[in-house]
Structure 1
Amino acid sequence: MSINTKRFTVALVAATLVLSLSGCSHWSKRDRNTAIGAGAGAIGGSILTNGSGLGTIGGAAVGGIIGHQVH
């Protein structure tokens, strides 16, 4: 995967996350933190593992757990 493709993918995931969260105004603060943590974790996992699907999913899981614990 080239660097431009990775940057495009990260930008697309970030834009999708922002748009999807805008439709969730009725969510509790904990729900929003979980979703934001999962999105950030997915982006981080993807970057750290050079776009590996397993790294992206693992990052999303860890980020979601951390986001859920933030008060």
Structure 2
Amino acid sequence: MKRLQLFAAVLTAAGVIGCTSMSAQQQGTVSGAAIGAAAGAGIAAISGGSGWTGAAVGAVAGGVAGNIKGSRQQK
């Protein structure tokens, strides 16, 4: 579990640091994926499921939602 938390923290930090030269849509996608991965891993851990599967599903869902939100902000 600690490895998963560390992975989520590093992923979030990398997403925030790397966003300086990205468009609003790209920032939304990266941020959404990072937040979704952390949330998915947390929910999976609480419910007794696989943390990696939860992180993967959360990252995809968060990335899609972030992409849509970012594209609307860009216009």
- The TM-score range, normalised by the shorter chain, is 0.7 to 0.9
Equivalent residue, structure 2, for 1:23: 18
SS, match of residue 21 in structure 2 = coil
Please, what is the CA RMSD of the aligned residues? Answer: 2.0
Equivalent residue, structure 2, for 1:47: 42
Distance in 2 separating the partners of 1:59 and 1:44: 7
In structure 2, do the counterparts of structure 1 residues 39 and 20 end up closer, same or farther at CA, with 3 Å as the change threshold? Answer: closer
Runs of 4+ that moved beyond 4 A? none
What is the CA-CA distance between 1:22 and the residue it aligns to?
Answer: 1.4
Give the aligned length: 66
| Structure with a larger share of its residues in helix | 2
Aligned-residue identity in percent: 26
Distance in 2 separating the partners of 1:56 and 1:9: 9
SS, match of residue 61 in structure 1 = helix
Structure 1 unaligned residues grouped into runs of 5+: none
What is the CA-CA distance between 1:11 and the residue it aligns to?
Answer: 5.1
